[in-house]
């Protein structure tokens, strides 16, 4: 569960295609968001965003990460719902 905040940041950046816009949405500085994403990329051993002229876009690895994030969120929601009892 230690990556939940990082997952939220990655989702925000992926949705908005901008670290700056995402940083405003999550009330963090752009450099703090960039550092969190860079630390995640370093940990998994690959970049998940391609830096483009108008911001950022998910690459193939990033698409896999987003799928993983969605699955993790669904599992957490399921656990919190109590439906598994």
Distances (CA, A) of 40 to 2, 5, 15: 11, 11, 18
pTM surpassing 0.85?
Answer: yes
Model confidence pLDDT, tens digit, residues 49-66: 999 999 999 999 999 999
Task: Look at residue 10 in the predicted model and tell me its pLDDT.
Answer: 97
**Sequential DSSP letters for 15-70:** HHT-HHHHHHHTTS-HHHHHHHHHHHHHHHTS--EEEETTEEEE-HHHHHHHHHHH
Model confidence pLDDT, tens digit, residues 6-50: 999 999 999 999 999 999 999 999 999 999 999 999 999 999 999
CB-CB contact of 9 with 16 (8 Å): no
């Amino acid at each position: 569960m230690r990556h939940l905040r990082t997952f939220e940041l990655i989702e925000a950046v992926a949705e908005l295609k901008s670290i700056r816009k995402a940083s405003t949405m999550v009330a963090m500085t752009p450099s703090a968001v960039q550092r969190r994403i860079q630390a995640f990329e370093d940990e998994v051993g690959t970049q998940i965003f391609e830096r483009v002229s108008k911001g950022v876009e998910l690459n193939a690895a990033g698409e896999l990460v987003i799928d993983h994030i969605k699955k993790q969120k669904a599992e957490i929601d399921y656990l919190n719902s109590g439906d598994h009892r």
